[in-house]
Amino acid sequence: MQKLLYLYKSSRAGFRANSIYSAATVVKFISSIIILTVYYFLWKAIYSGATSIQGYRFNELMAYILLTRILSMLYPFGIIDTYSQLVIRGDIGLHLLKPIRMEWTMLGNFIGRNLYSCLSGGIPYIVLFFVFASPYISLPGIGISILFILSAYFFIFLFELNIGVLSIYFTSLWGVGTLTGAIIALLSGELLPISFYPEKLIGFLDILPFSSMYYIPVNVLLGKECEWKQALAIICIVNVLLLVIYSCTSKVLLKKLSISGG
């Protein structure tokens, strides 16, 4: 209970820390509208003369793109850089002295940051998503999609923690976060539905957890056929493995930090 209360307070602090930049909020909102306009006319041109592409009608694909943009704002990308900066500045020592683990602080801050990001820049996406997707959404689909989104949130958090903790050894992981984000965007179906990929690549991606971040939850929400039970089992197993790996790795590397730091 104490940890949940601390998580709530950290989330609120993260939300407030980002909400003080009112000018940035306005710019982000305007940027979202511009990007939306580009997406709409680009795909409208691609769909001219075609009713369906790779099993997606125009409205379905627009809903897919809109929801992936919303989810990209909700997911905790940036943990790697945050962890690295804690090591570089030496602030990690102060966090280790606190009674609450620093991972809980980071999780809370990112929850608040992600919520603010979605509310400030994601409202146009959310409104248009329901305009395009309303004929396809069902109550069971919403429940399954939420389950996937929560699992994917912790997957990204744990995945980036496992990379970020290596900054204790390497000190700086400059550029690693950007590279990781680009790879995830390709493998998860953020840029395009995975069904647009070559068949051999699709078969490979089916055994990886990345499709559970965007492709599976969006398709479930749109009522499209997909192997969601298998995907859910895979991401849950991977989350457990990542948690175990991080627990072991962080213990070893934090001992090195203590020895190096005195």
Tell me the average pLDDT across 207-220: 93
State yes or no: pLDDT of 257 exceeds 70: no
Is 123 domain-assigned?
no
State yes or no: pLDDT of 260 exceeds 50: no
State yes or no: pLDDT of 75 exceeds 90: yes
Number of domains in the chain: 1
Is residue 111 within 8 Å of residue 16, measured between CB atoms?
Answer: no
Tell me the average pLDDT across 191-215: 89
Tell me the average pLDDT across 66-89: 88
Tell me the average pLDDT across 204-226: 91
pLDDT at 23: 65
- Range with top average pLDDT, 51-60, 125-134, 147-156, 245-254: 147-156
The DSSP symbol for 165 reads T
Is 141 domain-assigned?
yes
Question: What are the Cα distances from residue 164, in Å, to 19, 111, 113, 170?
Answer: 26, 18, 18, 10
State yes or no: pLDDT of 21 exceeds 70: no
Is 153 domain-assigned?
yes
Is residue 58 within 8 Å of residue 44, measured between CB atoms?
Answer: yes
Tell me the average pLDDT across 251-258: 73
Cα distance between residue 64 and residue 72, in whole Å: 12
pLDDT at 134: 86
Q: What is the pLDDT of residues 116-162, one digit of tens each?
A: 888 877 888 888 888 898 888 888 889 999 999 999 999 999 999 99
Range of 167's domain? 36-105+130-261
Is 111 domain-assigned?
no
The rounded percent of the chain whose pLDDT value lies above 90 is 29
Greater confidence, 15 or 76?
76
User: Residue 105: which residues within 8 A CB-CB, separation 6 or more?
Assistant: 6, 10, 95, 98
The DSSP symbol for 197 reads S
Q: What is the pLDDT of residues 172-185, one digit of tens each?
A: 677 777 888 888 98
pLDDT at 166: 85
Nearest partner of 120 among 190, 13, 21, judged by Cα: 21
Is 235 domain-assigned?
yes
What pTM value is reported for the model? 0.89
- Range with top average pLDDT, 32-41, 86-95, 229-238, 248-257: 229-238
Is 19 domain-assigned?
no
Is 214 domain-assigned?
yes
Amino acid in position 69? R
Is 185 domain-assigned?
yes
